[in-house]
């Protein structure tokens, strides 16, 4: 168990009304943590709180706040609530995210919102909470939700890929900074889910595809990885093994090292070479 995840400690989770955030809330509630939950959906937060109370958490140990993570003032208000209610924050999960789709020239006008939520929600959340967590002198854990699309950057959704690539770079920089602080007991982790069946990935489907993990399976893997001390929490699923993920990531890096065209995995001249690489 990570020292930040202890009975009586406090977790703040954004994007907590559904999916991975809600699954993480239930996991941490079972571990005895108090919860401060944030989301843009007021009704979703109310349902999440009711479900947690029904599962056994005390009503006084779970608070909610409607929060738009793209607005730093909202995040400051969330931090003020958490500290006023519970006195400390030990776990921060910057998890809120959207994926409405995007195009390279932003004909839909979505880029600012996607980057505001997915990237700057993580950046500002960390900048607002983490100095207080460090100053407390207590163990702390920051979990930032990234994506494999932020590493291999497949074509088709450039704004989402950019936002998640930014989360990766920011979280690496954050952890490097934290480990250089002489007395800090706070560390950061990069959460990289696989194919998870949530509202973000359902795309109109009402039943979970066979290849997808549930949010609960993914969150269990997350906290097992945290307990092992992993920084890069690269989650498999029922379609993609860790070996396949590793090969895809190494191929993407090879585009630079071997001076191939960008996104050569999807380039017609390199399809056979990639298929052979994946099998070898």
Please, what sign has the CA dihedral across residues 159, 196, 169, 265?
A: negative
Q: Are residues 203 and 192 in the same domain?
A: yes
Q: Are residues 113 and 222 in the same domain?
A: yes
pLDDT of residue 280: 83
pLDDT of residue 229: 97
Tell me, yes or no, whether 2 lies in a domain: no
CA atoms within a 13 Å half-sphere pointing along the CA-CB vector of 26: 19
Instruction: Report pLDDT digits (tens) over 90-109.
Output: 999 999 999 999 999 999 99
Tell me, yes or no, whether 4 lies in a domain: no
Please check the confidence at residue 270 and state whether its pLDDT lies above 90: yes
Domain count, the chain: 2
Tell me, yes or no, whether 102 lies in a domain: yes
Q: Are residues 190 and 274 in the same domain?
A: no
Q: Are residues 265 and 181 in the same domain?
A: no
Query: Which residue, among 12, 22, 159, has the nearest Cα to 74 in the 3D structure?
Result: 12
Tell me, yes or no, whether 232 lies in a domain: yes
Instruction: Report pLDDT digits (tens) over 152-175.
Output: 999 999 999 999 999 999 999 999
Q: Are residues 256 and 161 in the same domain?
A: no
Q: Are residues 76 and 215 in the same domain?
A: yes
Which residues are part of the catalytic machinery?
160
Q: Are residues 110 and 81 in the same domain?
A: yes
Q: Are residues 208 and 91 in the same domain?
A: yes
Domain that holds residue 140: 10-239
Whole-number mean pLDDT of the chain? Answer: 95
Q: What is the CATH number of the domain that holds 104?
A: 3.40.50.720
Q: Are residues 149 and 265 in the same domain?
A: no
Q: Is 126 buried (19+), middle (13-18) or exposed (0-12) by CB count in 10 A?
A: buried
Instruction: Report pLDDT digits (tens) over 5-30.
Output: 999 999 999 999 999 999 999 999 99
Instruction: Report pLDDT digits (tens) over 199-244.
Output: 666 556 667 777 889 999 999 999 999 999 999 999 999 999 999 9
Distance CA 267, CA 32 (A): 50
pLDDT of residue 183: 87
Query: Do 67 and 39 form a contact (C-beta atoms < 8 A)?
Result: yes
Q: Are residues 187 and 273 in the same domain?
A: no
Q: Are residues 197 and 277 in the same domain?
A: no
Question: Can you give the pTM of this predicted structure?
Answer: 0.95
Distance CA 266, CA 246 (A): 17
Percent of the chain scoring above 90 in pLDDT:
92
């Amino acid at each position: 168990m990570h020292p930040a995840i202890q009975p009586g400690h406090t977790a703040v989770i954004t994007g907590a009304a559904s999916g991975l955030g809600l699954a993480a809330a239930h996991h941490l509630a079972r571990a005895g943590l108090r919860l401060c939950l944030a989301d843009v959906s007021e009704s979703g937060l109310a349902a999440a709180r009711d479900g947690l109370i029904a599962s056994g958490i005390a009503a006084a140990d779970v608070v909610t706040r409607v929060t738009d993570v793209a607005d730093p003032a909202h995040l400051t208000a969330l931090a003020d609530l958490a500290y006023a209610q519970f006195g400390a924050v030990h776990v921060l999960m910057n998890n809120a995210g959207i994926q409405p789709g995007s195009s390279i020239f932003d004909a839909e006008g979505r880029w600012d919102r996607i980057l505001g939520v997915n990237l700057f929600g993580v950046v500002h959340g960390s900048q607002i909470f983490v100095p207080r967590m460090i100053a407390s002198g207590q163990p702390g854990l920051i979990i930032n939700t990234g994506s494999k699309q932020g590493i291999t950057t497949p074509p088709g959704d450039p704004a989402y890929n950019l936002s998640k690539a930014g989360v990766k770079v920011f979280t690496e920089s954050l952890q490097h900074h934290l480990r250089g602080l002489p007395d800090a007991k706070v560390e950061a982790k990069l959460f990289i889910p696989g194919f998870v069946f949530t509202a973000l990935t359902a795309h109109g489907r009402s039943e979970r595809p066979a290849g997808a993990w549930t949010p609960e399976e993914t969150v269990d893997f997350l906290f097992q990885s945290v307990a092992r001390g992993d920084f890069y929490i690269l989650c498999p699923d029922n379609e993609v093994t860790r070996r396949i993920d590793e090969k895809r990531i190494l191929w993407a890096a090879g585009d630079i090292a071997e001076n191939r065209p960008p996104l050569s995995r999807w380039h017609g001249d390199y399809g056979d070479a990639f298929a052979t690489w994946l099998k070898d």
